[in-house]
């Protein structure tokens, strides 16, 4: 049987790096299930030349389409076919359309690790009825300073987000406008107030951009919208069935807490999710998927699964993603699909 090896990307975050091989094994299982169905590979950690790899076998040689799909694994640096004692590098074709500094430039306390953000987006997209390489509409209902929005843009998706923090809204607005100018990408950008019955209820950042003047003329553009408002009011800003994928990293209750319906901050995100998930689910298209990362110290997976099921979603069987972040955070993910 053909045998392959994945070289894991060196992680600048030491703690995440210690979990990256195990998380890659779990992510590979999701990718393999989508690409190879019942013949999905079972990966294992293997040391080659003193370096950790994830290795796996397949019944038939991988096609270029399979290799291109696996190229988007969140922590993979290179893919090899194992031939005896030698490793033959395979051509990787990632979805990335934009410069990698879109993901890496921003540095601030509480920023979600970009490799984990990519992992969460990957496994959520693979749970929906669309392909990873399709032009998707992605929504982050707790978008902070836009880590998920940037990864969605990197893949060529349209990105939409909402966050109640005005400072985060202003920081992301300044960052993305500067980045687009520095990259000399043809774009339009506007920030406008949103009013309901003359009362100010939020602010909206609207950006449209293309990779070149020619692509803009041809209509090959991406859309980015960020709303500065309470996520519980998401349905006031977006129409039902607007999004293929909803991905969010729920507040951990450490850096910024979470807001429930009674005001104040709560260490647990569960009250916020209990109120918000039904509204978020209504924004998903049939066949779409919702992926949520959360701190397990703030609530159990069974509790969150019930919230998702009560909203009419089907929870996926995605074990093996729980990992230690620091003494106050053990992070896990849960993914659910909206029936067609």
In a shared domain, residues 265 and 184: yes
pLDDT in tens, 61-83: 999 999 999 999 999 999 999 99
Same domain for 249 and 108:
yes
First to last CA, the chain: 37
Domain for residue 96, yes or no?
A: no
On whether residue 94 sits in a domain, the answer given is no
The tokens describing 183, both together, are 């990259």
Domain stops at, among 57, 89, 121 = 89
DSSP, residue by residue, 215-275: HHHTT--EEEEEEES-GGGGGGTS-TT-EEEEEEE---SSSS-EE-TTSSEES-SHHHHHH
pLDDT at residue 261 in the model: 46
pLDDT digits (tens, 9 = 90+) for 227-240: 999 999 999 999 99
pLDDT, tens digit (0-9, with 9 covering 90-100), for 132-159: 999 999 999 999 999 999 999 999 999 9
Tell if the pTM clears 0.85, that is, is over it: yes
Same domain, 288 and 313: yes
| Whether residue 71 sits in one domain with residue 160 | no
Mean pLDDT of 98-115: 89
User: Domain limits at 180?
Assistant: 101-337
- Enclosing H/E stretch for 1: none
Nearest to 290 by CA among 332, 331, 336, 250: 336
41 and 113 belong to one structural domain: no
Domain with residue 29: its CATH number is 3.30.70
Could you tell me if residue 297 is inside a domain? Answer: yes
- How confident is the model at residue 14, as a pLDDT? 67
Backbone phi, psi, residue 290, to 5°: -120, 130
Burial class (CB in 10 A: 0-12, 13-18, 19+), 230: middle
């Amino acid at each position: 049987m053909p045998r392959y090896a994945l070289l894991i990307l060196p992680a600048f975050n030491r703690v995440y790096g210690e979990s990256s091989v195990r998380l890659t094994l779990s992510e590979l299982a999701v990718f393999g299930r989508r690409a190879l169905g019942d013949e999905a590979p079972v990966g294992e950690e293997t040391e080659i030349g003193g370096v950790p790899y994830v290795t796996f076998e397949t019944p038939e040689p991988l096609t270029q389409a399979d290799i291109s799909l696996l190229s988007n694994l969140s922590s993979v640096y290179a893919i090899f076919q194992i031939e005896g004692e030698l490793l033959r590098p395979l051509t990787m074709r990632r979805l990335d359309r934009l410069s990698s500094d879109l993901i890496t430039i921003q540095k601030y306390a509480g920023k979600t690790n970009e490799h984990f953000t990519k992992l969460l987006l990957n496994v959520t997209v693979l749970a929906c009825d669309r392909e990873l390489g399709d032009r998707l509409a992605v929504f982050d209902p707790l978008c902070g300073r836009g880590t998920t929005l940037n990864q969605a843009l990197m893949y060529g998706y349209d990105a939409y987000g909402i966050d109640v923090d005005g400072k985060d809204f202003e920081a992301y607005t300044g960052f993305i406008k500067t980045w687009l100018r520095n990259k000399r990408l043809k774009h339009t950008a506007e920030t406008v107030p949103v009013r309901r019955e003359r009362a100010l209820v939020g602010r909206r950042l609207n950006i449209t951009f293309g990779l070149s003047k020619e692509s803009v003329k041809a209509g090959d553009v991406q859309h980015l919208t960020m709303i500065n408002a309470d996520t519980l009011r998401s349905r006031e800003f977006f129409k039902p069935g607007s999004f293929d994928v909803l991905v969010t990293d729920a507040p951990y209750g450490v850096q910024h807490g979470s807001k429930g319906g009674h005001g104040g901050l709560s260490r647990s995100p569960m009250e916020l999710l209990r109120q918000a998930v039904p509204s978020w689910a209504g924004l998903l298209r049939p066949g779409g998927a919702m992926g949520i990362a959360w701190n397990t110290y703030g609530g159990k997976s069974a509790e969150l699964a019930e919230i998702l099921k009560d909203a009419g979603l089907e929870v996926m069987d995605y074990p093996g993603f729980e990992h230690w972040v620091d003494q106050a955070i053990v992070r896990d993910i849960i993914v659910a699909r909206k029936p067609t």
